[in-house]
Amino acid sequence: MKKVKIILTAAIIGLASVHANAQFGKLKEKINSGGGGKASGNFEAFNQEKDEMGITGQYFGMSDKKSYGFRFVKEANGKIINELQYFEKKGTEPQLKLYLKESYYTKNNVKLFFIWVTANADGYVELIELEPGVLAQIVQTTESANGGPATLDAKRTVKDIYAKDQTKFTTYDIETAQAKVDMIIASLNTEKIAKETAEWMKIEVYAKNVKKVVFSNQHYNLQKPGYPHKIAVTGDGFKTELDMAGNMNFMAFFNSPPKVSYPGQQINIEYEMNGQKVDRETLRKKSAAWSNMVKIIETKDFEYRQSPIRTIREYNTYHSAYVQDYACIQLLYNNKDKFKVDQTYQLTVRFYANRDGENGDLLAEGIIKLKYTKEAKLAFEGDPSKPEEKGVWAQFEAFLNE
């Protein structure tokens, strides 16, 4: 959808009036088409006004560089109204009035203004201050809030940016603004997360394994299919030792959903054995071949307190072949000369939040013993009686030589 401006007629402001209701179809048409009227004049005079929020002033739209006026009004007629007035043309009457979510400001110093011009998601307009003098415009969310601001769980999409100083557009593009908005909303979620954590800690499996990585030879022992949002296993199927000839699966339990706590970031998984470490992000950037084999993992896909199930190596019945994490296979390959039949080797797996190629917080960590059985030796080194079938090492070397 094209970038849009908050282009609304004064008639729309009075939502209770019949005349305003007649304008709703036109508003939707403008939003959906990306059309709208032209801003006129300048609003430099607004820069001389002062308000408690420090918001009032002339702003420029990033998408069109045209000038717009914003005025914060705290009080009118003896009442506190905490109103943000939007002007796209000169005059005493604003084209739109948005309202401060007061609890966000008093508790977290977040300046979020909103209005529902229709009851549908595409009729929602929201402005969030990214920093003094810079506002992000959100015009589309996934759910209604009965006249109040969109819920913290709603999907917010940045459509434009307004700044008093146009040089701020060198700092903020849509992607950067989106990441900042996600961080701001995450900061508002802390109280909700704390309450949810208290409830989750009542679940024994979670309480024992929070911030840990658990392992099993069967994925259904880690997480019941269709229940990524809740604990639906007993933990009896968690393993402390796995046969390298079989399936090797793992899953992490998080203190809070990474999507909420680390918005806009990535997940990096690190593997360690015998003092050697490899991680997915480093290998992914090594070459085109590695980038193709090791995909980016984003926190937006980690919506719950338990991660999607990951695999070191597992047989996929649908494809009649093994699937594997090439990053971990690289570590095992580095140690292949040390493997002896019937010996066990300790593997440590760590989940990190990752931003701009740098690991941040450690989200979860776990240790598993891998046993190099006779069957594992055949699987990895190849079966002499079946020379036509390559073992794991031979297949991996072929990949390295691409």
Say what the pLDDT of residue 34 is.
Answer: 40
Q: What is the pLDDT along the chain (402 residues), one digit of tens a residue?
A: 334 444 443 333 343 333 333 332 333 334 334 444 444 568 999 999 999 999 999 999 999 989 999 999 999 999 999 999 999 888 889 989 999 999 999 988 999 999 987 777 677 889 999 999 999 999 766 655 566 788 887 888 899 999 999 999 999 999 999 989 988 988 888 878 888 999 999 999 999 999 999 999 999 999 999 999 999 999 999 999 999 999 999 999 999 999 888 888 899 999 999 999 999 999 999 999 999 999 999 998 999 999 999 999 998 887 778 899 999 999 999 999 999 999 999 999 999 999 989 999 999 999 999 999 999 999 999 998 888 889 999 999 999 998
pTM of the model: 0.69
Identify any residues that bridge with 371 across adjacent strands, giving them in sequence order.
Answer: 243, 344
Distances (CA, A) of 254 to 42, 89, 193, 226, 353: 50, 50, 12, 19, 11
Return d(Cα 153, Cα 151) in angstroms, integer: 5
Return d(Cα 328, Cα 340) in angstroms, integer: 19
Say what the pLDDT of residue 29 is.
Answer: 37
Identify any residues that bridge with 278 across adjacent strands, giving them in sequence order.
Answer: 271
CB count within 10 Å of CB 22 equals 11
Vertex 379: Cα angle to 373 and 383 (nearest 5): 105
Distances (CA, A) of 309 to 87, 119, 123: 51, 39, 38
CB 222 within 8 A of CB 309: yes
Instruction: Dig out the tokens for 8 from the structure.
Output: 């609304």
3-state secondary structure the chain: CCCCCCCCCHHHHCCCCHHHHHHHHHHHHHHHHCCCCCCCCCCHHHHHCCCCCCCCEEEEECCCCCEEEEEEEEEECCEEEEEEEEECCCCCCCCEEEEECHHHHHHHCCCEEEEECCCCHHHEEEEEEEECCEEEEECCCCCCCCCCCCCCCCCCCEEEEEECCHHHHHCCCHHHHHHHHHHHHHHHCHHHHHHHHHHHCCCHHHHHHCCEEEEECCHHHCCCCCCCCCCCCCCCCCCCEEECCCCEEEEEECCCCHHHHCCCCEEEEEEEECCEEEEHHHHHCCCHHHHHHCCCCEHHHCCCCECCCEEEEEEECCCCEEEECHHHHHHHHHCHHHCCCCEEEEEEEEEEEEECCEEEEEEEEEEEEEEECHHHHHHHHCCCCCCCCCCHHHHHHHHHCC
3-state secondary structure 322-391: EEECHHHHHHHHHCHHHCCCCEEEEEEEEEEEEECCEEEEEEEEEEEEEEECHHHHHHHHCCCCCCCCCC
Say what the pLDDT of residue 11 is.
Answer: 36
Say what the pLDDT of residue 154 is.
Answer: 80
Say what the pLDDT of residue 329 is.
Answer: 98
Domains in the chain: boundaries: 27-198, 202-400
Say what the pLDDT of residue 262 is.
Answer: 87
Say what the pLDDT of residue 224 is.
Answer: 95
Return d(Cα 179, Cα 173) in angstroms, integer: 10
Inter-helix orientation angle 326-334/392-400, to 10°? 110
